[in-house]
Amino acid sequence: MTQQPPEPSERPPVNWKSALGGLIRGLRHVLRALFMGDGEAPLADMRAAFGNLNPRHVVLGVLLMAILGYMLTGLYVVAPGEAAVVRRFGAVVEPNVAPGLHYRLPWPIDRVDIVNVSEIRREVVGVPIPEEGHDHPEPPSKLQVLSGDTNVIDVEIIVQYQVSDPAAYLLNVQYAPYRLVRDAVRQAATFVMSQMPVDGILTTERQTLQNTIRAETQNRLDLYNSGLTIAGINLQKAFPPDEVADAFIDVNSARDDRGRTVNEANGYANSLLPQARGDAQKILADAQSYRSTTIGQANGEADSFGSILAEYQVNSEIYGEDVTRYRLYLETLERILPRIQIYVVNTENGERVNLRLLGNSAPLSTATANP
């Protein structure tokens, strides 16, 4: 048989009242020993040690130490890359304190504010997703602008800025610096892009657009006297909205096709025009040559006729007009007869001869014709 474990014995209940009473009695005994002891208590020892001090001297020393400590609170240190602004009763007395150890009157007379002027701060505009480390109370939003030819464009801009005037930065604008820069960039981008066509914004005018937006943003910040300087602006993206992205792609494709067609047409024209110009020059040269030849031949014939006429007039006076004409007639026949074919036909019997049938017969060098 297995033995059963013994049942645990019951604990006696705690008497909390008696325990609390014992604690109170112990505390009373300790306090009585401290404040009402027989000379060996700590407070009694302190009374014996400082009993010979003058209370007025003690109070005066304490006051002097307090005043010295209060005056020492005016010391402050400006680290490298920082600048301090000292205000006295709210009015700026030192607008740009250089790095180092400095002193100003303690609070509430003077107040010092230290600003980091070397830090390059960053702000994104038009990005719908917040960047890590740039969380703001309000959610980010897209930046959509209207171009000069009424096209909607989504824009994403990254701007870098820093504090250039600490006093103006602290006092002139009661607005969060990131919001001031962001709104100034949005206004500048909207204003500048509204004066440009969409083709220039998306393609060739990107660098010019960045510079113009930066200058316009800086002008607005200077008008506000914000004490901020734009260190750089990067036009990260400029693209059509998703709803019309396909239409923009079609337009760009059509524009590329148009450019390619124009280039091909220009190339074809450039290949034809020189040939056409060459042909035209050749025709002109041939025409000039023909003109010169014809004019020269006509002038020669005219001169020859003039010479013959002069000779005829001279011979007519010497030999007579009829003799001269008959001689010219004979000379003309001498030039013509060797170049023609002569046929002798007998017509005494009244026969009729078809001269067309004699066309293939051999020409006779000399012949006589019967009447």
Per-residue pLDDT at 270: 84
**220 occurs within a structural domain:** yes
Is pTM, for the whole model, over 0.85?
A: no
Domain of residue 140 covers: 121-239
Residue 79 shares a structural domain with residue 148: no
Taking alpha carbons only, the member of 55, 62, 33 closest to residue 45 is: 33
**357 occurs within a structural domain:** no
**What's the CA dihedral at 357, 363, 365, 368 to 10 degrees?**
0
**65 occurs within a structural domain:** no
Residue 107 shares a structural domain with residue 86: yes
231 contacts 162 by C-beta, under 8 angstroms:
yes
Per-residue pLDDT at 173: 82
E-strand stretches of 1-146: 75-78, 82-88, 91-97, 100-103, 110-116, 121-125, 143-146
Residue 137 shares a structural domain with residue 172: yes
Per-residue pLDDT at 176: 86
Distance, CA of 34 to CA of 43 (rounded, Å): 6
**343 occurs within a structural domain:** no
Q: How many domains does the chain have?
A: 2
Distance, CA of 144 to CA of 126 (rounded, Å): 8
CATH number of the CATH domain containing 180: 3.30.479.30
Buried b (16+ CB within 10 A) or exposed e, 180-190: bbbebbbebbb
For 162-194, how does the pLDDT look when each residue is reduced to its tens digit (9 = 90+)? 998 998 888 888 888 888 999 999 999 999 988
For 59-96, how does the pLDDT look when each residue is reduced to its tens digit (9 = 90+)? 777 888 888 888 888 888 888 988 888 888 888 888 88
Residue 129 shares a structural domain with residue 232: yes
Tell me the three state secondary structure of residue 197.
Answer: coil
Which residue ranges of the chain lie beneath pLDDT 70? Answer: 1-20, 27-55, 57-58, 133-135, 244-246, 252, 320, 342-347, 350-371
DSSP 54: -
Query: Which run of H or E residues covers position 239?
Result: strand 228-239
Distance, CA of 234 to CA of 309 (rounded, Å): 97
**167 occurs within a structural domain:** yes
Distance, CA of 46 to CA of 37 (rounded, Å): 13
**163 occurs within a structural domain:** yes
Residue 100 shares a structural domain with residue 130: no
**176 occurs within a structural domain:** yes
User: Alpha carbon 203 to chain centroid distance?
Assistant: 8
Distance, CA of 296 to CA of 185 (rounded, Å): 83
Residue found by looking up tokens 């250039």 in the block: 164
DSSP secondary structure string, 257-319?
HHHHHHHHHHHHHHHHHHHHHHHHHHHHHHHHHHHHHHHHHHHHHHHHHHHHHHHHHHHHHHH
